[in-house]
Amino acid sequence: MYSPHTEGDIKAMLAAVGAPSLEELIRVPDAVALKVPLDVPPALPEADLARKIAEYAARNTAATEYTSFLGAGAYRHYCPPVVMALAMRGEFLTAYTPYQAEVSQGYLQAIYEWQTYMCLLTGLDLANASVYDGATALAEGAIMAVNATGRSALLVSSAIHPNYRDVLRTYARGLDLDVDELPVAPDGTTDLSTLEARLADKRYAAVALQSPNFFGCVDTPHAREQEMFASTGTIPIAVVAEALSLAALVPPAAWGAQIAVGEAQSFGNPLNFGGPYVGFIACTKEHIRRIPGRLVGRSVDNRGNPAYVLTLQAREQHIRREKATSNICTNQAHCALVATIYLAALGETGLRRAAGLNLRQVNRLAERVCAVPGFSRAFAAPVFNELVVRVPSSTTTERVLAALRERKILGGLELAGWYPNLSDCLLMTATETTTDGQIDAFAAALGEIVRETKAAARA
Amino acid sequence: MPNAAPIPLVFETGKRGRATVYFGDGHALDEFLPKSALRESLPLPENSELDVVRHFTRLAQRTFSIDTGFYPLGSCTMKYNPRINEAMAAQPGFRDLHPFAPTDLAQGAIATMYELERALSAVFGMAQFSLNPAAGAHGELAALLIAKAYFRKKGEGAQRSTVIVPDTAHGTNPASAAMVGYKVVSLKSDARGRVDVAELKTALGSDTAVCMMTNPNTLGLFEDHILEITEAVHAAGGLMYYDGANANALMGNSRPGDMGFDLMHLNLHKTFSIPHGGGGAGAGPIGVAERFVDFLPTPVAVRDRDGKFSLDFERPESIGPMRSFWSNFAHVVRALTYIYANGGEGLTKISQLAVLNANYIRVAVKEFLETPYDEPCRHEFVASAQALKRETGVRALDIAKALLDRGYHAPTIYFPLVVPECIMIEPTETESKETLDGFINALREIMATAKSDPQKIKDAPVNTVVGRIDETRAARQPDLRWQPSL
């Protein structure tokens, strides 16, 4: 209980409101009154509570005892302690949405800085204050394109994160939108050879492509495809599941994307078993009235000083109700704040170094793992920090992962559930937190596993 | 006057080469990627760590929060955020856990999800919850997608096209309905501030899909005809949706499940003490009655007969996932910590004291502000500055700004829309009698000043770092980002 009321306070306050008891004050009609105590365990003193919850944390040994090569839309990166030290200040942590701008200038300015960072990184004109995560950013971006074009079908690469595509389908069912997919080419990028034919009847509101894609491959269209988008009035949407890649790769605006959506968890936010993360949406200025969610703008106050305020609220649910661009209200402000502080601390040099180290480690991983007999890269396209590896035909992904686990290694993600033709493949990730020693030990373990498999086969 | 000098943007300070170095020497990117794949420049500012610390510390100091003062923002439940929640969520076993970690190496996390799911089902009388949605509005959307899937399965998909929403509903309700293609019918409240049952009955028909309500409603009033309402909607073949934004009034007292609601969401960042973080992240679990369990968004945390926990994705009737990964998990840890800290009795007491605090302010402000619904309220109530405006020209907005000058956050204003010059006050249970007395006195003094010297209130705020902001200019000449000077 965190209420400050003494028995005396309660008595005095009940007298002031003219109620004989708390129970009387909150009485509801008998037919809907709960007549039994809540079926929730009794209160624990904080010292016991801390021990109890710590026991739950201790049972997640994947987080604490294993070397992990898992990625796939959730990345472990180094976050300088200064980031959380600042973000966890009570003023930031316990504020509400900054409706009263005069007493929220600090947070509003931080969001304005976040919006600017996302513009600088994507090359686009404006960005919102955040959405829930990468998958919902894609769904909201797709709805923007539907509203902009009046078309009700979407074309997405099947190399987009499977979870993002699933969420897009969830949203699409609500609005009766069709979602079609482009296949994957042999090199791991999206097969765009059928694009011209598919776009010809101007059925699609948007084409969404992810780079680096789910397989880690750099996957952006060329001038030829950009012309097809333009001539058919199809909106190109860039999907970015690993925001750190924006520090290295050609930004979405430079390949013609009008809308960029994605996940910025990598900027300082912990893995947290999947959330909260932070989705972003950036776009060209012609979509300004269609972008969902909060926007912070800079204006002036009645003393002539610059001042920040939530703006263009005529797009939003609390003003427009059923005519709003989206139903979003609460977003991921604090995760966006963490990202903003992370970007401010690292600066250009830090971000470039982090990106360079990711590139180096994934290339080392590729080299060492594929030096083990039977292991090979499934795709030839260049990667940023993850890659798809085919396991030897003498074994299975399941057996490889199980043998690695005995050596306290989480060797990557099986792809069979999403891509039946990749049932002998693993998606492996390396970031700047992955050491050379861990990569070498991983490769050595794979070598051992192969030898054991062969020995078992002989026996 | 506070020090009101503008704080330069992080982009306007610093120098190339000044950033504190956190990583070993990077590698030439073109060592690994073709030049055509690489961006040409990365124009980000470089500030020293100390400069970054001072910058964000100064921004924090210009941000009002629960930690700095009383925050009676109606319908937002700005209660104290216990710090044990933060410590628990930050443990490496939770913080560093990857969403694709093997289930048997993540049993503690899934158990945490399962136990929160069970506790929420018990407190609100639902069959099962999914912790998947990321916020309240997201939960609403999930629930309406369930309704749509349910009617489609019943062969009534095309016919059930309307959602009924009372005029006191949160703006997210009609906006969520629109996102699943439903037509919105708005329902007028009656003179007592409740849903008009007769009008509801005329609105009901074979086209009714869902009726969305919150109880207590946004006027802070308990919908005492709720059983009659849910029975009428069910008789018409429609479903009842419970908007859990006001759940802080209800715990241990009454349960949406027992009122006949089929679908509901909760805002863990309201009732369950999760910090709002300046607008998020929240968490919006949805609970359903037995016949909708199969439709819940995936995954759902379950326990098998051997006591093993898992995330259930194999639910063929499910509407599918609502977001990238399983839940806003760090918030799941915070909410479960809060529930175990309070226990069943504590949760019951929380709702009682939230209602006591609201009524304590209500009876006190009655002496100087109109309270259009003169009866005991629940966790919040509405007052109106209509008479004051007529008399002095001072509006609800002016009162809000005058409160900022006096160190209080403003209440919610101009919502719900049914009350002119509306002031909606929700103190929560974590505020002391002394704090409430201070707030009441400030409000009383503002009212007196409004009558003696109205201009003084219209000029507020003057003690804040900026004065009133030109919102028209912000919208007409949008400046949404810093631009590098050419």
Q: Which two tokens stand for residue B11?
A: 């982009």
If you average pLDDT over every residue of chain A, what do you get?
96
Evaluate the omega torsion of the peptide bond into residue B99 and state whether it is cis, within 30 degrees of 0: no
Q: Which residue has the tokens 């590098």?
A: B484
- Identify which of B356, B370, B378, B372 has the alpha carbon closest to the alpha carbon of residue B429: B356
The nearest alpha carbon in chain B to A40 belongs to B344
Is A23 within a domain?
no
Whether residues A91 and A71 share a domain: the answer is: no
Domain count, chain B: 3
Nearest Cβ partner for A62 among B56, B88, B97: B97
Q: What angle do CA B257, B263, B266 make, to 5 degrees?
A: 85
> Where would I find the H helices in B68-106?
83-89, 92-95
Question: What backbone phi and psi angles, to 5 degrees, belong to A354?
Answer: -60, -45
User: Mean pLDDT, consecutive 10-residue segments, chain B of 486 residues?
Assistant: 84 94 86 93 96 98 98 96 98 98 98 98 98 96 97 96 93 91 94 96 97 96 97 98 96 98 96 96 97 98 97 97 98 98 98 98 97 96 97 98 98 94 98 98 98 98 97 95 84
- Look at residues B32, B62, B92 and tell me which one is the last residue of a structural domain: B62
Which pLDDT does position B4 carry in this prediction?
82
The shortest C-alpha distance from B222 to chain A (Å) reads 8
Whether residues B334 and B394 share a domain: the answer is: no
Whether residues B337 and B456 share a domain: the answer is: no
Is B481 within a domain?
no
Whether residues A141 and A254 share a domain: the answer is: yes
CB-based contact, A15 to chain B, within 8 Å = no
**Long-range pairs for B225-228 at CB < 8 Å and ≥24 separation?**
B225/B194, B225/B195, B225/B197, B226/A29, B226/A32, B226/B259, B226/B260, B227/A29, B227/A31, B227/A32, B227/B259, B227/B260, B228/B197
- Look at residues A317, A342, A367 and tell me which one is the last residue of a structural domain: A342
Whether residues A338 and A354 share a domain: the answer is: no
Task: State whether ipTM is beyond 0.90.
Answer: yes
CATH value at residue B430: 3.90.1150.10
Whether residues A430 and A300 share a domain: the answer is: no
Residue A10: list chain B partners with CB under 8 A.
353, 356
Domain count, chain A: 2
Q: Which residue has the tokens 């089902």?
A: B121
Is B71 within a domain?
no
Subunit contact B325:A37, Cβ cutoff 8 A: no
Question: What backbone phi and psi angles, to 5 degrees, belong to A434?
Answer: -85, 125
Interface of A with B in 384-443 (CB under 8 A): 405, 410, 413, 432
Question: What backbone phi and psi angles, to 5 degrees, belong to B361?
Answer: -70, -40
The residue among A32, A239, A287 with the most chain B CBs within 10 A of its CB, best to mutate, is A32
Tell me: pLDDT of A320 over 90.
no
The shortest C-alpha distance from A233 to chain B (Å) reads 24
Whether residues B183 and B318 share a domain: the answer is: yes
Subunit contact B92:A63, Cβ cutoff 8 A: yes
Whether residues A70 and A92 share a domain: the answer is: no
B242 strand-pairing partners: B213, B264
CB-based contact, A226 to chain B, within 8 Å = no
Overall residue count recorded for chain A in this entry: 459
Q: Which two tokens stand for residue A7?
A: 């028995």
d(CA A191, CA A237): 16
Whether residues B280 and B158 share a domain: the answer is: yes
Subunit contact B24:A353, Cβ cutoff 8 A: yes
| Strand ranges inside A271-321, DSSP E | 279-283, 296-300, 306-310
CATH value at residue B271: 3.40.640.10
Whether residues A411 and A332 share a domain: the answer is: no
Whether residues B183 and B328 share a domain: the answer is: yes
3-state SS, residue A389: strand
Element (H, E) at B359: helix B329-365
pLDDT band, residue A331 (cuts 50/70/90): very high
Whether residues A109 and A141 share a domain: the answer is: yes
Q: Centre a 10 Å sphere on the Cβ of residue A65 and count the other Cβ atoms it contains.
A: 10
d(CA A284, CA A145): 12
Evaluate the omega torsion of the peptide bond into residue B281 and state whether it is cis, within 30 degrees of 0: yes
Q: Which residue has the tokens 């590729």?
A: A366
pLDDT, tens only, A340-362: 999 999 999 999 999 999 999 99
Query: Domain range spanning residue B57?
Result: 1-62
Whether residues B192 and B312 share a domain: the answer is: yes
A293 sits in the region (left: phi over 0; alpha: psi -120 to 50; else beta) called left
- Amino acid A57 reads A
Subunit contact A175:B179, Cβ cutoff 8 A: yes
Are B279 and A331 in contact by the 8 Å Cβ rule? The answer is yes
Is B391 within a domain?
yes
The nearest alpha carbon in chain A to B143 belongs to A174
Nearest Cβ partner for B323 among A13, A132, A319: A132
A147 sits in the region (left: phi over 0; alpha: psi -120 to 50; else beta) called alpha
Subunit contact A34:B255, Cβ cutoff 8 A: yes
- Amino acid A247 reads A
Whether residues A95 and A70 share a domain: the answer is: no
Query: Domain range spanning residue A431?
Result: 64-76+348-458
Subunit contact B176:A327, Cβ cutoff 8 A: yes
The shortest C-alpha distance from A346 to chain B (Å) reads 7
Is B409 within a domain?
yes
Q: Which two tokens stand for residue A422?
A: 């990749």
Evaluate the omega torsion of the peptide bond into residue A29 and state whether it is cis, within 30 degrees of 0: no
Q: Are strands A153-157 and A204-210 parallel, antiparallel or unpaired?
A: parallel
Which pLDDT does position A106 carry in this prediction?
98
- Amino acid B337 reads T
Is A430 within a domain?
yes
pLDDT, tens only, A90-139: 999 999 999 999 999 999 999 999 999 999 999 999 999 999 999 999 99
Residue B251: list chain A partners with CB under 8 A.
38
- Look at residues B291, B311, B341 and tell me which one is the last residue of a structural domain: B341
d(CA A279, CA A136): 7
Is A52 within a domain?
no
Residue B27: list chain A partners with CB under 8 A.
356-357, 359-360
The nearest alpha carbon in chain B to A169 belongs to B320
Q: What angle do CA B211, A174, B155 make, to 5 degrees?
A: 70
Cα B321 from chain centroid (whole Å): 21
CATH value at residue A432: 3.90.1150.10
pLDDT, tens only, B338-349: 999 999 999 999
Whether residues B143 and B291 share a domain: the answer is: yes
Q: Which two tokens stand for residue A257?
A: 């994307």
d(CA B108, CA B253): 31
- Look at residues A342, A361, A396 and tell me which one is the last residue of a structural domain: A342
d(CA A336, CA A281): 12
Whether residues B236 and B374 share a domain: the answer is: no
Q: Which residue has the tokens 């980000």?
A: B44
Whether residues A265 and A209 share a domain: the answer is: yes
Q: Which residue has the tokens 């998947």?
A: B132
d(CA B213, CA B264): 10
Nearest Cβ partner for A298 among B44, B378, B479: B479
- Identify which of B183, B141, B168 has the alpha carbon closest to the alpha carbon of residue A323: B183
- Look at residues A294, A317, A342 and tell me which one is the last residue of a structural domain: A342
Is A48 within a domain?
no
Cα B449 from chain centroid (whole Å): 33
Whether residues A333 and A397 share a domain: the answer is: no
The residue among A94, A166, A277 with the most chain B CBs within 10 A of its CB, best to mutate, is A94
Interface of A with B in 330-389 (CB under 8 A): 330-335, 337, 340-341, 343-357, 359-360, 363, 382
Subunit contact A353:B323, Cβ cutoff 8 A: no
The residue among B221, B246, B308, B325 with the most chain A CBs within 10 A of its CB, best to mutate, is B325
Residue B440: list chain A partners with CB under 8 A.
none
Is A222 within a domain?
yes
Whether residues B155 and B224 share a domain: the answer is: yes
Which pLDDT does position B3 carry in this prediction?
75
Nearest Cβ partner for B342 among A43, A109, A413: A43
Nearest Cβ partner for A57 among B47, B94, B331: B94
Whether residues B130 and B27 share a domain: the answer is: no
Whether residues B116 and B169 share a domain: the answer is: yes
pLDDT, tens only, A389-418: 999 999 999 999 999 999 999 999 999 999
Cα separation of the two ends of chain B:
36
Residue A54: list chain B partners with CB under 8 A.
88, 91
Are B463 and B2 in contact by the 8 Å Cβ rule? The answer is yes
Subunit contact A251:B32, Cβ cutoff 8 A: no
d(CA B388, CA B410): 17
Whether residues A328 and A393 share a domain: the answer is: no
Are A215 and A427 in contact by the 8 Å Cβ rule? The answer is yes
The stretch A438-444 carries a mean pLDDT of 98
Residue A218: list chain B partners with CB under 8 A.
33, 37
- Look at residues B62, B93, B111 and tell me which one is the last residue of a structural domain: B62
Residue A316: list chain B partners with CB under 8 A.
171
pLDDT, tens only, B399-436: 999 999 999 999 999 999 999 999 999 999 999 999 99
| Strand ranges inside B305-356, DSSP E | 309-312
The nearest alpha carbon in chain A to B230 belongs to A32
Q: Are strands B208-213 and B239-244 parallel, antiparallel or unpaired?
A: parallel
The nearest alpha carbon in chain A to B40 belongs to A250
Whether residues A97 and A145 share a domain: the answer is: yes
The nearest alpha carbon in chain A to B460 belongs to A102
d(CA B309, CA A59): 12
CATH value at residue A150: 3.40.640.10
Q: In what order do the strands lie in the sheet with B381-384?
A: B381-384, B422-425, B412-413
Which pLDDT does position A450 carry in this prediction?
95
The nearest alpha carbon in chain B to A72 belongs to B100
Is A24 within a domain?
no
Whether residues B322 and B377 share a domain: the answer is: no
Residue A161: list chain B partners with CB under 8 A.
324
